[in-house]
Amino acid sequence: MIVTVASNRKQVGKTTIAVNNAAIRALAGRSVYLIDIDPNKSSYDWTLKRQSFNVQPPIPACSISGKYLKDTFDKVSSNYNDVVIDTDWRDSKGSQMALEVSDMVIVPVEPGPGSLACLKKMAKRIHAARANNPALWAIVVLVRARGALPIAEFDAIRNFVGKESSMALAGTVIRDDKSLQKAFDDGLAVFEYKTADRRSVVEMYDLYRAQRRKSAALPSLSRVQKHLGKGASCGEFI
Ligand SMILES: Nc1ncnc2c1ncn2[C@@H]1O[C@H](COP(=O)(O)OP(=O)(O)OP(=O)(O)O)[C@@H](O)[C@H]1O
Ligand SMILES: [Mg+2]
């Protein structure tokens, strides 16, 4: 499965989702390759850290300019079960190409002023990509949420997503949590980080489950479930 993480917002959590998603798939026994087309190379650097700390399983990756995405993708995609593509926030040719080669795009949305407008921009990009890749499907996930979600904002996003035939709103919300950064700094996914907030572990797991719903071939995650115990799921879609 090819999954891109994309948003027109900076610093919204794209890389955090991309690396956790790559790791959760690798832990599920999938062979995973991560392509970082963001010039800041942050997800690529995370894989290097993982390598230097000898974290298992390793996640092979490359950092490339978006203009080489198609060539790189054509070379690697048949060798892996999953390719995860981390993009930058710009509407560049590379990130548009990422949407064109993907089965799924995860769109993190941080609730707050301007988030709906930003999501609408993303929806336009997805529509454009679907002209060449009609099977592309999007999961919108609310991220970095603090306290109660702003209801008007949330309703507007839910109504918008509800009208988009190729989008679904993930039933989980990725809450604001410092352990995501701490895990990242050690080259770990949040569920590999010993003192992680359990809630973030569950949220990342549920985001994976939302993807499984569209691709039943994805395995379940007994290794992650070990960290979860009872009451793991917050539901899949709203
Ligand atoms: N749910 C969260 N709770 C708390 N901090 C978060 C969360 N998600 C991401 N962060 C932190 O926010 C910062 C930006 O996250 P990240 O790098 O994943 O975003 P990004 O969209 O990839 O940014 P960029 O546009 O710069 O590539 C990082 O310090 C990260 O640890
Ligand atoms: Mg990033």
Cα 16 to averaged position of ligand 1 atoms, centre (Å): 6
* Best residue for ligand 1 mutational test, from 16, 21, 199 (most atoms within 8 Å of Cβ): 16
Q: Which ligand is closest to the CA of 109, given by its number?
A: 1
In this predicted structure, what is the pLDDT of residue 238? 36
Q: Which ligand is nearest to the CA of 12?
A: 1
Q: For residue 232, what pLDDT band results from cuts at 50, 70 and 90?
A: very low
173-216: pLDDT as tens digits: 999 999 999 999 999 999 899 888 888 988 998 898 888 777 65
Nearest CA to ligand 1 atom 8: 13
C-alpha dihedral over 32, 36, 37, 42, to 10 degrees?
160
User: 180 CA distance to ligand 1 centroid (A)?
Assistant: 8
Q: Specify the DSSP element, H or E, that contains 4.
A: strand 2-5
CA distance 51 to 130: 36
- Side chain identity at residue 56, one-letter code: Q
Which tokens belong to 115? Answer: 């988030």
Instruction: Give residue-wise pLDDT tens across range 67-78.
Output: 999 999 999 999
Q: Cβ(181) to ligand 1 under 6 A?
A: yes
> Average model confidence (pLDDT) for the chain?
90
Pairwise pLDDT comparison (10 vs 145), residue with the higher score: 10
- Report DSSP state, residue 145: E
Contacts of 231 by beta carbon, 8 Å cutoff, 6+ apart? none
pTM: 0.93
Which listed ligand is nearest to 184 at the C-alpha? 1
Q: Which of 8-12, 47-51, 108-112, 234-238 bottoms out in mean pLDDT, i.e. has the lowest?
A: 234-238
Q: Is the distance from the beta carbon of residue 10 to the nearest atom of ligand 1 less than 6 Å?
A: yes
- If pLDDT is split at 50, 70 and 90, which confidence band does 113 have? confident
Retrieve residue 18's tokens. Answer: 């991309």
Residue 61 near residue 33 (C-beta atoms within 8 A): yes
What are the residue ranges of helices labelled H in the chain? 14-27, 42-52, 69-76, 93-101, 115-132, 151-163, 178-185, 198-214, 222-228
Lowest mean pLDDT segment, chosen from 98-102, 140-144, 207-211: 207-211
DSSP 8-state class, residue 10: T
